[in-house]
Amino acid sequence: MAGSNPNAKPMNLTLKVWRQPNRQAQGKIVDYQVKDISPDMSFLEMLDVLNEDLLRGGQDPVAFDHDCREGICGSCDLFINGRSHGPEKGTTTCQLHMRKFSDGDTITIEPWRASSFPVNKDLSVDRSAFDRIIQAGGYVSVNTGGAPDGNEIPIPKEISDRAFEAATCIGCGACVAACKNASAMLFVSAKVSQLALLPQGQVERKTRVENMVAQMDKEGFGACTNIGSCAAECPVGISLENIAILNREFLAAKASSNNLA
């Protein structure tokens, strides 16, 4: 099954696509037929074909988010056949290939759903709530001056590996989209544990977690009940262990920070 097959035949598919003219409008599912889809196309290329057909017919193309198309930017936020980024494990939508589907399939395509992720148009979603959470504390302050020597700060290999694992989060929001509670805790925990593990993150360690969690709550994301859909759908495999670290960091910061407010 897996792998490109030069003899694979082009596919004809039925798409059930969420169409919504703007933020305020009511949306609905609209059926489309796409023909001669190569199994080697990515899912987004298949949508490009649909849009070319629509444009040729004088119709409004389907708006969807995408940028890098190589699995690193996290833009391609599509809920496909009831799963974040489709049924394939560990992939973004742009890395999902049409060979994972069969000729004659019906595919349902919806935008991420969450109160904090309003739909801009069709499948395009406003994920700026994530940006505001990062702005609240997901950074380290760096002094100006000469560049420090790369190996000046010793970091054990095991610690740097774990920090890098957490740092692979691409901010796609698949975790929120899949979660019954629309909780953003996997996303927040990835950034909090990445920076809490590293020496560079120590200066802002307590204010970071306090402010990021406060912003996460303010944006209206839900509270984790350890269901695990997030980690199962995360394209880069951020683990639930990070949420445990987030909870520890939060409690420790609340108990010991000088912040009385």
Partner 1 sequence: MSWISKTFTSSIGRKIIMSLSGLFLCTFLVVHLIGNLQLFKHDGGAAFNTYSHFMGTNPIIRTIEWGLVLGFGFHIYEALMLTRRNKAARGSQGYVSNHSEQNSEWTSRNMGILGTIILIFLIVHLYNFFWRARFAGDIPKMGGADPLTRDYDNLYMAVVDSFHIWWYVLLYVAAQISLGYHLWHGFRSGFQTLGLNHRKYTPAIKYIGYAFAVLVSAGFASMPLYFFLFTNAQGELAANASAVLQSVAAAF
Q: Which residues bind ligand FES (CB under 6 A)?
A: 66-69, 71-76, 92-94
Q: Which residue, 98 or 245, is less far from ligand FES as judged by CB?
A: 98
Run of H or E residues at 166: helix 157-167
Run of H or E residues at 110: strand 106-111
Determine if 128 is a binding residue for partner 1 (CB under 8 A): no
Determine if 186 is a binding residue for ligand SF4 (CB under 6 A): yes
Q: Which residue, 187 or 250, is less far from ligand FES as judged by CB?
A: 187
Q: Which of 33, 40, 43 lies closest to 13 in space, CA to CA?
A: 33
Structure tokens belonging to residue 199: 């020496």
Taken in order 21, 22, 26, 31, the sign of the CA dihedral is positive
When CB distances are held under 5 to 8 angstroms depending on the partner's kind, the choice from ligand SF4, ligand FES, partner 1, none that residue 212 binds is none
Please state, in angstroms and rounded to a whole number, the distance separating the CA atoms of residues 184 and 194: 16
Tokens 């609340």: give the residue: 254
Please state, in angstroms and rounded to a whole number, the distance separating the CA atoms of residues 36 and 11: 5
Determine if 212 is a binding residue for ligand SF4 (CB under 6 A): no
Binding test (CB under 6 A) with ligand SF4, winner from 234, 240, 243, 253? 234
Considering only residues 135 through 154, tell me which ones interact with ligand SF4, judged by CB under 6 A: none
Phi, psi of 42 (to 5 degrees): -85, 165
When CB distances are held under 5 to 8 angstroms depending on the partner's kind, the choice from ligand FES, partner 1, ligand HEM, none that residue 81 binds is partner 1
Task: Quote the least distance from Cβ 173 to ligand SF4, whole Å.
Answer: 5
Task: Quote the least distance from Cβ 100 to ligand SF4, whole Å.
Answer: 19
Residue 1: strand, helix, or coil: coil
Which residues have a Cβ under 8 Å from the Cβ of 33 and sit 6 or more positions away? 12, 13, 14, 15
Pairing of the two strands 119-121 and 124-125: antiparallel
Task: Quote the least distance from Cβ 176 to ligand HEM, whole Å.
Answer: 17
When CB distances are held under 5 to 8 angstroms depending on the partner's kind, the choice from ligand SF4, partner 1, ligand HEM, none that residue 259 binds is partner 1
Please state, in angstroms and rounded to a whole number, the distance separating the CA atoms of residues 108 and 194: 35
Binding test (CB under 8 A) with partner 1, winner from 59, 115, 128, 135? 115
- List residues near partner 1 by CB under 8 A: 16, 18, 27, 29, 79, 81-83, 87, 108, 110, 113-116, 178, 180-183, 185, 213-214, 216-217, 220-229, 232-233, 240-241, 243-248, 250-251, 254, 259-261
- List residues near ligand SF4 by CB under 6 A: 74, 169-175, 186-187, 190, 234-236, 238
